[in-house]
Amino acid sequence: MAISGRCLCGAVRYEIDNVPTVTGVCHCRNCQRQAGSAFSTLAAVSREEFRFTSGAPKLYEDKDTKSGNAVERYFCGDCGSPIISVLPAQADMVYLKTGTLDDTSAFVPQFHAWCDSKQAWVQLEEGVPTMATQ
């Protein structure tokens, strides 16, 4: 059974074939700005297992990153919801914004990245690996 999700307004919908391989939280400043929040929750999904089922997201190419690597950020052009990010160096994967999943109950972060720019008030759970950068 496919796992589904959508943007806030429902114009962009997607499905994935299997449970994501890796889940995590990114605390980089660009993800904070893109999410309008303290961090971005992500799930790595094989690109061939991800498909848009309705709507066509817009693309913002984020070239001003701390890592120096561009990030393709796909979002709904109507409501602005971020849907996926793609790293051109890892073009076989998409990083799904897990808040857009229809059922978010299974999300458990396996790591925290870019913790050097984490908001000071955010408390990280013990036992979950953290990385200062990527």
**This model's pTM is above 0.85:** yes
Query: Which pLDDT tens digit goes with each residue over 88-107?
Result: 888 899 999 999 999 999 99
> Which single residue is written with the structure tokens 């959508």?
6
Q: How far is CA 126 from CA 77, 109, 111, 130, 134, in A?
A: 38, 12, 11, 10, 19
Query: Which pLDDT tens digit goes with each residue over 70-88?
Result: 889 999 999 999 999 998 8
Enumerate the domain spans of the chain. Answer: 3-117
What is the third-level CATH fold of 3-117? 2.170.150
- β-pairing, 112-113 vs 22-26, is parallel
C-alpha–C-alpha distance, residues 5 and 107, integer Å? 13
Alpha helix ranges (H) inside the chain:
29-35
